[in-house]
């Protein structure tokens, strides 16, 4: 027999999946998937199976880099070490308005939202918002939060994007087949939302006074004439001073439980200006 070199690219799928299962650091798995066109779809399949079968997945943190405004470091909470530094192809932006499944969301001056995957060097351009031209403030703050129902890489025609938009905290959502957004804000009571997330197939949204609602976007397909889904109130608004929180976050634990985290501030007059600082956080488990 000759001394032929083994073809590592087309190694058996079972062997590759076994190797992937042994890799602990998330960034190492991403690098594994970038080796070849043959390994990449297998890597995506592995991630999809992992996400759906396990709730004990901890996401990575993105932190600034001192080297360049365009670069970010990826910090793994699972292994507690800085694992990689990535550079974004687009110019530095003021803020990212969301991150899900390795996709980052940004908005430009024309209110176009772009989903970018820095690991795959891919961009998805979402429909334009036409209703924010008269909002005050910097344009990067007019899209407050973007969340995804699924990874667009794995489900390119079957994912939903839900956003909190405008300084009035309104809700809208879109699918890949839609040319326009479907807006949820039918009256003043359905606005001023602070955070949203997907949980067990539903969208959960919360406001200042503990008001928690959920709605189902799975029934709305490509027919844009359909009315927006109904908002179901899980916790009503109780406008008492002690119930107000300056900022409220919805989070899902690694065990799959849903929590709301309320940030309370203290204010003090210093000279001619008012300064504030975080006084405390209160955590509620939602049952």
Q: Which of 21-30, 82-91, 273-282 has the lowest mean pLDDT?
A: 82-91
pLDDT in tens, 98-107: 888 888 898 8
> Residues 252, 87, 28, 15: is their CA dihedral positive or negative?
positive
Instruction: Express each pLDDT in 62-97 by its tens digit.
Output: 877 777 767 777 776 666 555 666 666 565 567 888
Mean pLDDT of the chain: 78
Give the global pTM: 0.75
Q: Say which CATH architecture domain 94-235 belongs to.
A: Beta Barrel (2.40)
Give the confidence band of 197 by pLDDT, cuts at 50, 70, 90.
very high
Looking at residue 173, what is its pLDDT?
Answer: 92
Helix axes 39-53 and 26-33, enclosed angle (nearest 10)? 150
d(CA 45, CA 155): 11
* Alpha-carbon 233 to chain mean position: 23
Residue 177 Ramachandran class (φ > 0 left, ψ -120 to 50 alpha, else beta)? alpha
Confidence of residue 198 (pLDDT cuts 50, 70, 90): very high
Q: Where are the domains of the chain?
A: 94-235
Give me the percent of the chain exceeding a pLDDT of 90: 16
DSSP, residue by residue, 16-67: HHHHHHH---HHHHHHHHTS-TTHHHHHHHHHHHHHHH-S---PEEEEE-SS
Write out pLDDT tens, residues 225-259: 557 888 898 988 776 656 566 788 999 887 888 99
What confidence score (pLDDT) does residue 243 get? 59
Burial class for 122, CB neighbours closer than 10 Å (0-12, 13-18, 19+): middle
Helix (H, G, I), strand (E, B) or coil at 141: helix
């Amino acid at each position: 027999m000759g001394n032929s070199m083994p073809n590592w690219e087309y190694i058996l799928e079972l062997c590759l999946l076994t190797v992937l299962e042994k890799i602990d650091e998330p960034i190492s798995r991403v690098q594994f998937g970038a080796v070849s066109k043959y390994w990449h779809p297998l890597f995506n399949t592995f991630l999809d199976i992992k996400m759906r079968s396990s709730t004990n997945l901890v996401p990575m943190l993105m932190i600034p880099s001192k080297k360049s405004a365009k670069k970010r470091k990826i910090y793994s909470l699972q292994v507690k070490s800085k694992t990689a530094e990535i550079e974004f192809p687009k110019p530095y932006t003021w803020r990212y308005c969301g991150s899900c499944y390795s996709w980052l969301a940004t908005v430009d001056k024309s209110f176009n939202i772009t989903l970018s995957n820095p690991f795959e060097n891919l961009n998805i351009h979402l429909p334009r918002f036409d209703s924010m031209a008269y909002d005050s403030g910097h344009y990067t703050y007019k899209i407050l939060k973007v969340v995804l129902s699924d990874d667009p890489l794995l489900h390119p025609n079957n994912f939903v994007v839900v956003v909190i938009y405008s300084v009035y905290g309104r809700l809208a959502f879109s699918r890949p087949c839609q040319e326009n957004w479907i807006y949820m804000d039918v009256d003043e009571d359905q606005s001023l939302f602070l955070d949203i997330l997907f949980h067990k197939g539903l969208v959960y949204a919360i406001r200042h006074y503990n008001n928690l609602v959920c709605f189902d976007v799975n029934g709305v397909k490509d027919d844009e004439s359909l009315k927006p889904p109904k908002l179901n109130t899980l916790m009503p608004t109780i406008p008492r001073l002690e119930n107000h929180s300056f900022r409220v976050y919805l989070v899902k634990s690694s065990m799959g439980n849903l929590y709301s985290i309320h940030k309370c501030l203290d204010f003090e007059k210093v000279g001619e200006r008012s300064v504030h600082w975080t006084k405390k956080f209160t955590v509620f488990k939602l049952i």
